[in-house]
Structure 1
Amino acid sequence: MPQPQVYKSNALIEASYRLTPAEQRIMLACIAQVRRDQPITDEVLYSVSVADYASLVGTESHSVYKELADAALRLKRREVWLTERPNGDGNREETLITGWVQSIRYRKAEGRVELRFTKDMLPYLTQLTEQFTRYALEDVAKMTSAHAIRLYELLCQWRDAGEREVTVEWLREAFQLGGKYPALKDFKRWVIEPAVEQINELSPLWVKWDQRKTGRRVSHLTFTFGEKAPEKPQKPRKGKTKAKAGGKAQDGSGALYGIPRAVIEAKARPGESYDDTALRLLAEAKERA
């Protein structure tokens, strides 16, 4: 069965907003239901059930309804700042401030909530033919960091490039951090590092990051990323005995990002960790492709 897909315009991917992980899951579960092949009005209701939500996050359903209902109510009060440049004109930047949903209906007896998107939000979710980003809902479903979900979307937007550089200030505004983590060391510790860790652990992408200075001040963050190698080797074809690259090590020691430990040990540079070696090998393989 095909996995539900999330489609967002790039303007929405880069918008400034703040949602909790629970609010993100509800919103993304509804976005994955939007029909892309026909016009959608703001009268359509999108439903998220306790069973769907529990399955999405991999938890028991008996205690989910309150979390679902509370998150839906908070979502009703959230705003999103969307910045666009009509016709690509950089001198005519326009900002739209709107909400995500205009109404919520609770159906407690049925164990579900229904949401209706605002009229202003619909153009960013439906009939997208260009400048949009797509990824599987499952990719972020189990992430517990709202920043990880946002960062994952920003990487997916540049998936073919394999690298994205943003200013620290822009990322802070996109995540609507306000006055939180004013010191760069705290921003990296509580926002960037946990987000990168969860993307590496829970998503189909691997990612590593670095920083760039303007003068003496760190001004930019650079993210290098790519698709993880398959974790399980495919069955060999008849007459073939060579295992597919990216499968688990034959000695049972496991693999890191799909690369056998034996390969990592053989290719590691002096002082280089297992993790750094695996990421470097993945990056080199992408360059050769």
Structure 2
Amino acid sequence: MAKNQYPGTTFEKTRNRWKAQVRINGKTKSVGYFNTQPEAYAAVLAAKRDMAPAVEAEQLLQSDSDTYRLEIQDSRRTTTVAQSNVLIEHPWAMTLLEARIFVLLLRGLRRDEADSKRIIIPLSDLVGDQPIGGRGYQYLHVAMDGLDAIRIDLPMPNRKKDYHKVPLVHSLKLDSGQGTISGYFSNDVIPYLTNLTENFTLGQVADLLSIKSPNTHKFYWIMQMWKFKSPHTVDVDTLRELTTGEAYPQFADYRKYVLKPSLEELNTLNFDISYTEKKKGRSVNSIEFHINYNGPSKLQPKQLQLQLGETTLPTPVPEQLQPVVAGAPSTFAAA
């Protein structure tokens, strides 16, 4: 068969005219009908020239979409996250939802990355498959405002005189149309999250996303950090500073509302933690922790789902707004 000298043109007997059409990105579009085949072919070429910018833009968007999907698939294969003990030992305040976004941002990093890059989190990874109502988006906005405001004191040679405070993240973006949250870690923070050769701690993504108490997240990272030197003794004031700051000044309250429930939740994972209170006079002044960890729990993705819909999102209460220690990503559990 001879090759068509005028591709995109066909003769329609019912009209006794030549039809011109173009095929763009798998779709055929009619250009019109003409008396001669050369005229129809000229219309095809003109249509292709006119549509070239739009085709190029669509192809670029498709390429970006493919890259996005590959990045998401790659990040979901990550089962552990890490950070320097420097950050764990210098806590900053986070709410539950802020902390969970934080761990999903951590999941998007790769070991030895030197430069910050935009990390994309599908909202489905944060809240499951449930639809997000208006109040849910309000919570997300507040959480992103909170993350954007966090500034970290980084180590300096002379802590009394020197000063180096940096933002944790920047350029946070919630795209409801794409169903994503994205953002960058500060370049000054990146070495404490990726360039880790010693004095760093690993966390299991599934464990961190399953935890329901903000205080448990704080203890998760601390216990992971201390497990290699178990039994480990720490004075009560230091432990309180690492977890709740100035909250619960009375140890009896701290034990009841923070220490015991946090360790009980950790022990439902693959931890086996016990502790001994040590007294100076009549007051408990230090605690000796005995920490065993038998590896990541075998959690299924469905256990990570949260609900932020208008019908299920609870009114915030003080317990949900307790700060979470640095490196303690968490869930935002609906009642």
Distance 2:99 2:210 in 1: 11
> What stretches of structure 2 of length at least 5 have no aligned partner?
1-75, 299-335
- Is the counterpart of residue 166 in structure 1 residue 234 in structure 2? yes
Distance 2:202 2:146 in 1: 25
Which of 215, 228, 252 lines up with 1:185 in the alignment?
A: 252
The CA deviation at 1:163 is: 2.6
Distance 1:175 1:230 in 2: 23
> What stretches of structure 1 of length at least 5 have no aligned partner?
233-289
* TM-score, normalised with respect to structure 2: 0.59
- Is the counterpart of residue 135 in structure 1 residue 207 in structure 2? no
Distance 2:91 2:296 in 1: 34
Equivalence for 1:26: 101
Aligned residues, how many? Answer: 221
Distance 1:95 1:75 in 2: 21
1:172-251 mapped onto 2 (5 Å cutoff): 172-178=240-246, 180-201=247-268, 203-228=269-294
- Secondary structure of the structure 2 residue equivalent to 1:222: strand
Distance 1:26 1:74 in 2: 11
Distance 2:296 2:91 in 1: 34
The CA deviation at 1:78 is: 2.4
Give the counterpart letter for 1:210 in structure 2. Answer: T
Distance 1:50 1:229 in 2: 28
Equivalence for 1:72: 144
Equivalence for 2:119: 46
Equivalence for 1:151: 219
- Is the counterpart of residue 114 in structure 1 residue 182 in structure 2? yes
Distance 1:186 1:144 in 2: 20
The CA deviation at 1:67 is: 3.5
- Secondary structure of the structure 1 residue equivalent to 2:87: helix
- Secondary structure of the structure 1 residue equivalent to 2:261: helix
The CA deviation at 1:125 is: 0.6
In 2 relative to 1, CA 93–145 (structure 1 residues): closer, same or farther, beyond 3 Å? farther
User: Is the Cα–Cα contact under 8 Å of residues 16 and 81 in structure 1 kept in the other structure?
Assistant: no
- Secondary structure of the structure 2 residue equivalent to 1:110: coil
Distance 1:157 1:223 in 2: 12
- Secondary structure of the structure 2 residue equivalent to 1:47: strand
Distance 2:189 2:198 in 1: 17
User: Is the Cα–Cα contact under 8 Å of residues 166 and 221 in structure 1 kept in the other structure?
Assistant: yes
User: Is the Cα–Cα contact under 8 Å of residues 273 and 289 in structure 2 kept in the other structure?
Assistant: yes
Distance 2:280 2:187 in 1: 41
- Which structure: larger Rg? 2
Distance 2:156 2:287 in 1: 24
Which deviates further from its counterpart, 157-166 or 190-199?
157-166
User: Is the Cα–Cα contact under 8 Å of residues 219 and 243 in structure 2 kept in the other structure?
Assistant: no
Equivalence for 1:281: none
User: Is the Cα–Cα contact under 8 Å of residues 148 and 168 in structure 2 kept in the other structure?
Assistant: yes
* TM-score, normalised with respect to structure 1: 0.67
User: Is the Cα–Cα contact under 8 Å of residues 153 and 166 in structure 2 kept in the other structure?
Assistant: yes
- Secondary structure of the structure 1 residue equivalent to 2:258: helix
In 2 relative to 1, CA 135–230 (structure 1 residues): closer, same or farther, beyond 3 Å? closer
In 2 relative to 1, CA 120–20 (structure 1 residues): closer, same or farther, beyond 3 Å? same
Equivalence for 2:130: 60
Distance 1:175 1:76 in 2: 21
Higher relative contact order (CA 8 A, sep 6+): 2
User: Is the Cα–Cα contact under 8 Å of residues 114 and 190 in structure 2 kept in the other structure?
Assistant: no
Distance 1:96 1:148 in 2: 29
Which of 10, 16, 22 lines up with 2:91 in the alignment?
A: 16
Pairwise CA RMSD: 2.9
User: Is the Cα–Cα contact under 8 Å of residues 102 and 117 in structure 1 kept in the other structure?
Assistant: yes
Distance 2:203 2:296 in 1: 18
The CA deviation at 1:94 is: 6.6
- Secondary structure of the structure 2 residue equivalent to 1:207: strand
After superposition, give the CA deviation of every residue in 1:213-254 in whole Å (9 maximum; x if it has no partner): 23332111222121349999xxxxxxxxxxxxxxxxxxxxxx
User: Is the Cα–Cα contact under 8 Å of residues 270 and 296 in structure 2 kept in the other structure?
Assistant: no
Residue identity (%): 26
Equivalence for 1:100: 168
The CA deviation at 1:207 is: 1.2
After superposition, give the CA deviation of every residue in 1:20-73 in whole Å (9 maximum; x if it has no partner): 2211111111112111133223xx111222111124xxx735455544333122
